[in-house]
Amino acid sequence: MAVPPPLPHPNSDPDHLAARTSKETFTNAARAVRENPNISNRLKAQQITALYDTHVKETADAYQRLTDRRRARLEYLEGLVPIGPGIPEGTSPADKAVLMEAFRSAWDKVKETSRQGRAELLAEAERFDDDAMRRAVLTYALDHAELWTIRDWTAMHLDKQDYLNEVAELRDALAGRGTNRAWDRQDFTPLPKPQEAYDWPLIEGDPNAQPWDSGRTVRPGVIEYRRS
């Protein structure tokens, strides 16, 4: 499986740019329809509504693609640090029980020691390749915000600078927080719904109805529109 690449700045990100292009495309196309003297107001309402629906879908699709890329990158980064019991899929029930017991035993020891003690336990785990203890210390560090432990471990074992900063940024972005929030709101909020898109659903079912024509009630439940 290919490694999900880091996400670029919004000004270079393909989905941010796609959302901006969608806004520009809708604005230009809607202007052309409105300025066309050869089609009726009814047809203009229909065409602009279709253009707007396309714009809304394009914007939503672009944001979903960005979200999927953020999630894939975060899952990849989190997978680089051994967190949790780490029991492989397909492990037999008997082996699973042994691995889980080893992790729980290490976890209990980690919980009862000091910060310095946890650092020593991690050093021993690395020296003797004790995966259960390594996972217990790093899991505790993540759960209790002892980020210096994660930072030190990643600096020694991963060829990845600013690991924690990238993880934090991705988590914030997926939660709708952080520095990306303003960019996301600016680019992925659709343009305001045009009047034509409000009018078209009201007149779509009657070929005589025109935009801004509310019609007149000729009898209960029956509305008559002016003929164009």
Which of these ranges, 18-27, 171-180, 210-219, has the smallest mean pLDDT?
210-219
Residues 6+ apart with CB under 8 A from 1: none
Q: Where are the domains of the chain?
A: 7-81+161-228, 84-157
pLDDT in tens, 24-81: 999 999 999 999 999 999 999 999 999 999 999 999 999 999 999 999 999 898 888 8
Predicted confidence band of residue 211 (pLDDT cuts 50, 70, 90): confident
Q: At residue 222, does pLDDT exceed 70?
A: no
- Judged by average pLDDT, the poorest of 20-29, 72-81, 99-108, 161-170 is 161-170
Provide, rounded to the nearest whole percent, the portion of the chain with pLDDT above 90: 64
What distances in angstroms separate CA 203 from CA 33, 196, 216, one per listed residue?
A: 18, 10, 13
Give the pTM: 0.76
Q: Cα–Cα distance between 228 and 149 in angstroms, integer?
A: 75
> Across 67-71, 167-171, 222-226, which has the greatest mean pLDDT?
67-71
Using alpha carbons, list the distances in angstroms from residue 191 to 21, 54, 187: 12, 12, 10
The CA distance from 81 to 209, in Å, is 64
Q: How many CB atoms lie within 10 A of CB 106?
A: 23
CB-based contacts of 216, cutoff 8 Å, min separation 6: 223, 224
Greatest extent of the chain over all pairs of C-alpha atoms, in Å: 89
